[in-house]
Structure 1
Amino acid sequence: MNTLPASRPEVLFELPPLPAQAAEVPVGLAQRLWQRDGLRQALVLVAIALLWEAAARWAGNDLLLPGFLQAAAAWWDDLCNGELLTRTGISLGLLLQGYGLGIALALGLSAAAVATRTGRDVLSALTALFNPLPAIALLPLALLWFGLGPGSLVFVLVHAVLWPVALATLSGFQGVPETLRMAGRNYGLTGLRYVLHILVPSALPAILSGLRIGWAFAWRTLIAAELFFGASSGRGGLGWYIFQSRNELMTDKVFAGLATVVLIGWLVERFVFDTIERLTVRRWGVQRQ
C-alpha cells in the first residue's frame, strides 16, 4: 500500500514588476555642512557667546560680568603679548607629565588585574579606597612631600588619572565577549597577538572612555591646584593667571582664562579623542556611528 502523499502540481507565479527607482536627489551644501559634528558644536559655542554678551549688556556691570567682546579683547591682548601662551604652556606641560604617568600606572595595574585574581583584588581594593578621594585634597600632603615644585602638581594629577583609567580598562577587558575569545584561540592567537588582535580592539571603547574621563579629571584638577599652588609659589599656569587676574579685579582676564580652559578642553575632545575613535573603533565597527 502506497502511503506517500500525492504530489501537488507546480504553479508558477509571476512577480509584479519592480517600481521605477526614484532619481536620487542631490544633497545640498547646507545639508552636508549640517551633518558635520564640528559645525553643530561651533554653532552651540556661537549661541553661548551671544547669550553671554546679551546677559552682560543687561547686567551693565563690567566688574561682575564683562561682555563676550570685552573678554575676547583681553584674551587677544594677552595672547599677542605672550602671557597667555606662556601660562598655557606651563599648564599643558605639567598635564602631559601627570597624564602620561597616570596612564602608565593604570595600564600596569589593569594588566595585573586581568592576569591574576590577586591583582584584581588589589585593584578593586585600591579603587574602592582612593577613587572617591578628590585629588585636590591631596595637595597639602603633596606640598609637604614634594615641596613647592612641579612634583606636587604631578602627584595630584597622577591620582586624578590613575583610578578612572584603571577601572575603565579593567571593565573593558572583562567585557570582551567569550565568543571573540574563543574565535581568537581557534585561529591560534596566543600571548601578545591574542591581546592586540582580540582583547584590545574589543575593549578599546571602554579604554577610550576611561582616557576621556581621566583627561577631564586631570585638566580640572590641575587648574584648581594651580589656583592654590600658584598663590603659594608665585608662579604657575592658567590657574595662577586666573587667580592673579581676580586679585587685580580684571574680571575680563578672569573670563579670558576660563575661556582658554574651556577651549583647550573642547579642542582635545574634538581633535584628539574624536579622531582616535574615528580611526579605530568606528572604522572597526566596534562602536556605532
Structure 2
Amino acid sequence: MTTTLPRPEIEYRLEAIEPSAPVAAPRLWQRHAGLRKAGIVALLALLWEIAARIAGNDLLLPSFLQTARAFATDLLDGELPGKAALSLALLLQGYLLGTLLAFALTALASSSRLGRELLSTLAAMFNPLPAIALLPLALLWFGLGKASLVFVLVHSVLWPLALAMHAGFQAVPETLRMTGRNYGLRGLRYVLLVLAPAALPAILSGLRIGWAFAWRTLIAAELFFGASSGKGGLGWYIFQNRNELYTDRVFAGLACVVLIGLLVENLGFETLERLTVRRWGMQR
C-alpha cells in the first residue's frame, strides 16, 4: 500500500498592475449622429457652391446661396408650404391605403396556401411594372382628379411592402408560431399578436421602401398631372418654374423634396425603430 505525500505549498508572487490611462470621453460629433449628418449636408452644400461658381451659369446651375434665397422667399410667402401640404396630403392617402391592402394580402398569404400563391403571382406580375406607367391609364379611368394619383401611389406602395411583410412573416421562428397556436390564436389575432411583432424589422424596412417609392412616384406624377390640370403640389411647382426658367426655384423645390424625405426618415422611421425593434433588442 502506497501513501501519497502531500504536495509542497508554493506561493506565487503577483506582479503589481499599473493603473491604465483613463479612457478619453468621445467627442461631441462622435456621440451625436445628427451632428455627423449635418456635417455631411454642409459639405455637400459647400461642394455645390464651389461647382456653381466654377460653372458661372446661373441658368444651368444656380449656387447654393441663390437657391437658399429662393427657398426662403417662397417659404415665407407660403407658396412652398402650400405646395408641400398638397403633396403630403395626397401621399398620405395613397400610402395608408396601400399599407392596408398590403397587410390584408400578407395576412391572407400567411393563413392559406391559396393566399401565398395569389400574393406571389400578383407580385410577380405587377411589382416590376413602374407605377408612373399606369398614370395615363389612371387618367382614362378616373379622370383629372386626385383619384388618379392615389391609384398610382397605391400601386407603388402595395407590392414592395407586401413582399417585405411576407418575407418577415416567413422568417418568424417555429417556436413562436407553436406558442401562438398553443394559446389558441387563429386568423387575424394570430397575425397581429404573433407574426406582426416578430416580423416588425422586415415590416419597417418595407414601410421605408414603400415610402420612398410613393414619394418619388408622386413627384413624377405631379410633373405630368400638373401639366394637364394646371394645379398640383411640389411636382407642379418644379414643372412650372422650369417652364419659366426660374432655375433657382426649381432647385428650391427639389431641396424641399429632399428635406421632407430627411425629416420623415430621421423623425419618423428612426424614432419608430428606436422605440420598438432597437428597444426590444431585435435590431442593432
So what's the TM-score if we normalise by structure 2? 0.91
Contact kept in structure 2, 1:74 and 1:252, CA below 8 Å: yes
Contact kept in structure 2, 1:201 and 1:281, CA below 8 Å: no
Q: Which amino acid aligns with 1:161?
A: V
Partner in structure 1 of residue 185 of structure 2: 190
Unpaired runs of 5+ residues, structure 2, are none
Partner in structure 2 of residue 202 of structure 1: 198
After the TM superposition, which parts of structure 1 deviate over 3 Å for at least 4 consecutive aligned residues?
6-26, 182-186, 191-198
Q: Does 1:139 align with 2:135?
A: yes
Contact kept in structure 1, 2:98 and 2:153, CA below 8 Å: yes
Q: Does 1:248 align with 2:244?
A: yes
Partner in structure 2 of residue 213 of structure 1: 209
Cα shift at 1:33: 3.5
Please give the alpha-carbon distance, in whole angstroms, between the structure 2 residues aligned to 1:278 and 1:11. 60
Q: Does 1:85 align with 2:81?
A: yes
SS in 2 for 1:257: helix
Cα shift at 1:34: 2.3
SS in 1 for 2:62: coil
Partner in structure 1 of residue 223 of structure 2: 227
Partner in structure 1 of residue 168 of structure 2: 172
Q: Does 1:47 align with 2:43?
A: yes
Unpaired runs of 5+ residues, structure 1, are 1-5
Percentage of pairs with the same residue: 66
Q: Does 1:158 align with 2:151?
A: no
Partner in structure 2 of residue 100 of structure 1: 96
SS in 1 for 2:254: helix
Do the aligned partners of residues 179 and 257 (structure 1) sit closer, same or farther apart at CA in structure 2, a change above 3 Å counting?
Answer: same
Cα shift at 1:9: 7.0
Partner in structure 2 of residue 119 of structure 1: 115
Do the aligned partners of residues 47 and 7 (structure 1) sit closer, same or farther apart at CA in structure 2, a change above 3 Å counting?
Answer: farther
So what's the TM-score if we normalise by structure 1? 0.90
Match of 1:273 among 258, 263, 269: 269
Correspondence list, 1:52-71, <5 A: 52-71=48-67
Total equivalences in the alignment: 281
Cα shift at 1:14: 7.3
TM-align CA RMSD:
2.4
Cα shift at 1:38: 1.6
Contact kept in structure 1, 2:107 and 2:191, CA below 8 Å: no
Do the aligned partners of residues 8 and 36 (structure 1) sit closer, same or farther apart at CA in structure 2, a change above 3 Å counting?
Answer: farther
Partner in structure 1 of residue 234 of structure 2: 238
Partner in structure 1 of residue 29 of structure 2: 33
Q: Does 1:263 align with 2:259?
A: yes
